[in-house]
Structure 1
Amino acid sequence: MTSMAATQPSKDLSYLLDHTSHVLRTRMSAALAEIGMTARMHCVLVHAVEEERTQAQLAEIGDMDKTTMVVTVDALEKAGLAERRPSSQDRRARIIAVTEEGARVAVQSQKIVDGVHNDAVASLPEADRKALLHALNLLVEGHLATPAESPRPARRARQSK
């Protein structure tokens, strides 16, 4: 007969994922703040610069509700990094257009994000880095791809502003 302890991870998986995610978000927030950006602003900029996207499409990509998206785009407009414009494909739709300065900042913020991600795994031996990223991708694309439906949904971790 197998004991329960033998089949469980040595630490609580939820804790490990939550803690590492929280620390990564705080480091990302601090690093992006140095150039006056937030993680949400970065997300909108890098995805809006790729192709013409509506505010709703960008909100879905960034997992933001409507109110958070409006506040984020307002901040980008105020900083001169993006602006709301009618879509070239559908005049009824509004897109988020990245300004020249916004495109420059998107490149800079992406370098910061890449640096934070690289620093996060730098303490691991190369083989462990590859294994960790491979395993996380398998979970995200497989068993943990979709949240479970629940009458009392789990609260998502609050994102730094």
Structure 2
Amino acid sequence: MAPARTESDLSFLLDRTSHVLRTRMAAALAEIGLTARMHCVLVHALEQERTQVQLAELGDMDKTTMVVTVDALEQAGLAERRPSSADRRARVIVVTEKGAEVAKRSQRIVDGVHREALGALPDDEREVLLRALNRLVTGHLSIPVAAPPTARRARERAK
């Protein structure tokens, strides 16, 4: 017999809503040829001069994912890698004029997806949810703890 649950399954609730929100965001941004990561890089690079490393941290991306994302932005003519004005060894991502226009469009899309999700709640519940989530993100759940790596099985090679 499975043990009785004594608390709401917060992990499931947050994971499920996050997963569905990400799929809706991906579908909406795909309509203008962007991924959520591309949107994230464009918007944060427009805020101020940032290196690839800084943008990767903001977007919670590993180094390889960041390189692939910036490569795609460069191929689309939306951003360029340039030497940093503060540290010539570092590379910053500079958004092109075309990229700035796309970032405006993508931000409207992102805001719309968020508005639609939150619009499913009555006003008073929406405010409570946002306040509670912000409290968790800035308080108790603000810093991840070290977790053991998950075991991955080796892929079998085709014969």
TM-score normalized with structure 2 length: 0.89
Amino acid aligned to 2:85: S
1:8 aligns with 2:10: no
| Shift in CA distance, 148/36, structure 1 to aligned 2, threshold 3 Å | same
Structure 1 residue aligned with 2:155:
none
Q: How does 1:96-115 map to 2 (within 5 A)?
A: 96-115=93-112
The unaligned stretches of length 5 or more in structure 1 are 156-161
SS at match of 1:96: strand
Matched pairs, number:
149
1:36 aligns with 2:25: no
SS at match of 1:75: helix
Amino acid aligned to 2:104: V
Name the CA distance, whole Å, in 1 between partners of 2:113 and 2:61.
22
Identity %: 72
The unaligned stretches of length 5 or more in structure 2 are 153-159
Name the CA distance, whole Å, in 2 between partners of 1:61 and 1:78.
22
Name the CA distance, whole Å, in 1 between partners of 2:22 and 2:151.
19
Amino acid aligned to 1:151: P
Name the CA distance, whole Å, in 2 between partners of 1:151 and 1:38.
29
Structure 1 residue aligned with 2:55:
58
TM-score normalized with structure 1 length: 0.88
Q: Detail structure 1 runs of 4+ shifted over 4 Å in the superposition.
A: none
Higher relative contact order (CA 8 A, sep 6+): 1
Structure 1 residue aligned with 2:127:
130
Name the CA distance, whole Å, in 2 between partners of 1:38 and 1:152.
27
Name the CA distance, whole Å, in 1 between partners of 2:24 and 2:40.
16
RMSD: 1.7
Name the CA distance, whole Å, in 2 between partners of 1:55 and 1:8.
41
